[in-house]
């Protein structure tokens, strides 16, 4: 009986201690909650004070004349009119270099059609550097009284809007496109550029003296070179057809036949020609 009474007392005391531990835990959690709440409020106050101080400092720095944009350096400009660039960049002068929108500056520099890309970099404390990539002209053609240049992507521009139009005199002419509609003109220009790129990439030395590519006919591209009146008829779908054989036999044909009016390279494994007048 005594053993049983002792066990009941121990069980009661064990349950009593658990109820006491619950109160202790509750008090402890309450203290931790107050402590963490205080830490969060304190840290939040510190962050707010730091953010306010930084914002105010940045505001003062942006307003300081020491960071106003006054120096603009432009690299890579050659054909693009510099007075146009100055006019486009004028609104950005005296702006704070710290808050200057570099993408807006690049867009302003790229507003001239001949500028393909512009990269802008801050130069503290008061300058920026703009590096331009201009388009590269591949050929030229006439549109009425105007001389137009076209880059390798088919972009067309009037030479009168460029700084050094005389530098385009060595480019080959694209003919047979002046009196056609815009859509057909674009197709012919693309056909001429593709043919020109194929010839220049495969035969750069020979192509350096190209003078004109006539695109007026749909079944052929007529090529002339230098001051020679000899014409080459090339297949629009395969301008390099028979070209290797033509170059190898050119001198031999000249020695045997003499002057030639044209060579026709459009037939597979065959070169046709028309003798010219001596």
**pLDDT cut 90: percent of the chain above it:** 59
Burial 193-214 (b: 16+ CB within 10 A, else e): bbbbebbbeeeeeebeebebbb
pLDDT tens string 207-219: 999 999 999 999 9
Region 70-87 average pLDDT = 92
Q: Identify the weakest region by mean pLDDT among 17-21, 31-35, 110-114, 254-258.
A: 17-21
Region 161-166 average pLDDT = 94
Q: Does position 13 have pLDDT exceeding 90, yes or no?
A: no
Is the pTM higher than 0.85? The answer reads no
pLDDT of residue 241: 96
Strand partners, 270: 267
Looking at every residue in the chain, the average pLDDT score rounds to: 86
Burial 56-90 (b: 16+ CB within 10 A, else e): eeeeeeeeeeebbbeebebeebebbeeebbeebbe
215 φ, ψ (degrees, to nearest 5) = -115, 20
pLDDT interval class at 152 (50, 70, 90) = very high
pLDDT of residue 20: 55
The topology (CATH level 3) of 65-134 is Ubiquitin-like (UB roll) (3.10.20)
Q: Does position 256 have pLDDT exceeding 80, yes or no?
A: yes
- Burial class of 151 by CB neighbour count within 10 A (0 to 12, 13 to 18, 19+): middle
pLDDT interval class at 60 (50, 70, 90) = low
User: Tokens 């962050």 correspond to what residue?
Assistant: 47
Please tell me the class of the 137-275 domain.
Answer: alpha beta
Region 93-120 average pLDDT = 92
**pLDDT cut 70: percent of the chain above it:** 85
Q: Identify the weakest region by mean pLDDT among 11-25, 55-69, 168-182.
A: 11-25
pLDDT interval class at 58 (50, 70, 90) = low
């Amino acid at each position: 009986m005594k053993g049983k009474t002792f066990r009941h007392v121990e069980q009661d005391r064990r349950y009593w201690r658990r109820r006491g531990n619950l109160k202790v835990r509750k008090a402890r959690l309450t203290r931790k909650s107050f402590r963490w709440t205080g830490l969060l409020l304190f840290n939040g106050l510190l962050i707010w004070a730091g953010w306010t101080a930084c914002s105010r400092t940045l505001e003062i720095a942006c307003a300081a004349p020491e960071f106003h944009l006054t120096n603009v350096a432009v690299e890579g400009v050659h054909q693009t009119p510099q007075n146009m660039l100055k006019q486009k960049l004028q609104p950005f002068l005296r702006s704070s270099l710290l808050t200057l929108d570099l993408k807006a500056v690049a867009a302003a520099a790229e507003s001239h059609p001949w500028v393909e890309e512009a990269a802008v970099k801050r130069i503290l404390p008061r300058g920026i550097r703009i590096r331009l990539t201009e388009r590269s002209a591949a050929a030229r053609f006439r549109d009425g009284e105007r001389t137009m240049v076209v880059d390798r992507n088919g972009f067309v521009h009037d030479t009168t809007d460029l700084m050094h139009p005389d530098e385009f005199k060595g480019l080959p002419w694209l003919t047979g496109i002046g009196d056609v509609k815009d859509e057909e003109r674009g197709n012919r220009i693309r056909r001429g550029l593709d043919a020109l790129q194929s010839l220049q990439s495969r035969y750069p030395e020979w192509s350096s003296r190209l003078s004109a590519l006539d695109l007026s006919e749909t079944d052929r591209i007529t090529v002339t070179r230098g001051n020679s009146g000899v014409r080459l008829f090339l297949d629009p779908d395969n301008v390099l057809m028979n070209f290797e054989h033509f170059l190898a036999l050119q001198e031999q044909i000249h020695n045997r036949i003499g002057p030639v009016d044209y060579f026709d390279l459009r037939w597979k494994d065959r070169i046709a020609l028309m003798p010219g007048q001596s």
